[in-house]
């Protein structure tokens, strides 16, 4: 079974720009979660989507948004980029039911200059 894939793997953007990251979950998984990982703060939860609906959201400003499509693929968008948005953005997928394990993709490394 193919794992979680994320594109692109690396991005360099300028402050003030916006960026869109993509995530394809494991086949059959309907839940997709997004996380931001930085050296100082570690892994922090951004939001989770299930069946095209945002089910939960972490403590991030409204510049961070996401969506999920009918095929469970998900995108996250960051508008008006700030230097502090430089991070590894990780996507994780999980099935629905008795198992809550989340399986992570390789991440997108975003650098804001």
Task: Tell me which residues touch other proteins (CB under 8 A).
Answer: 4, 31, 33, 35, 42-48, 50, 55-56, 58, 90, 92, 99-107
Laid out side by side, the sheet with 74-78 consists of 5-7, 19-24, 74-78, 64-68
| Shortest separation between residue 99's beta carbon and other proteins, angstroms | 8
| DSSP, res 5 | E
Residue 37 near residue 43 (C-beta atoms within 8 A): yes
Can you tell me whether residue 2 is helix, strand or coil? coil
| Shortest separation between residue 16's beta carbon and other proteins, angstroms | 28
Query: CA–CA separation, 29 vs 74, rounded Å?
Result: 12
Query: CA–CA separation, 31 vs 95, rounded Å?
Result: 6
| Shortest separation between residue 6's beta carbon and other proteins, angstroms | 8
**Closer to other proteins by Cβ: residue 14 or 101:** 101
**Closer to other proteins by Cβ: residue 4 or 21:** 4
The residue count of the chain comes to 113
**Closer to other proteins by Cβ: residue 45 or 86:** 45
**Closer to other proteins by Cβ: residue 14 or 99:** 99
| Shortest separation between residue 47's beta carbon and other proteins, angstroms | 8
């Amino acid at each position: 079974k193919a794992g979680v894939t994320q594109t692109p793997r690396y991005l360099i953007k300028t402050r003030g720009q916006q960026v869109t990251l993509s995530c394809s979950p494991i086949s059959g998984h309907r839940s997709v979660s997004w996380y931001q990982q930085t050296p100082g703060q570690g892994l922090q939860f951004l939001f989770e989507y299930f069946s095209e609906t945002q089910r939960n959201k972490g403590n991030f400003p409204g510049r961070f948004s996401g969506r999920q499509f009918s095929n469970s693929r998900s995108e996250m968008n960051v508008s008006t980029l700030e230097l502090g948005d430089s991070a590894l953005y990780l996507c994780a997928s999980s099935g629905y039911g008795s198992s809550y394990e989340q399986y992570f993709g390789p991440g997108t490394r975003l650098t804001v200059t």
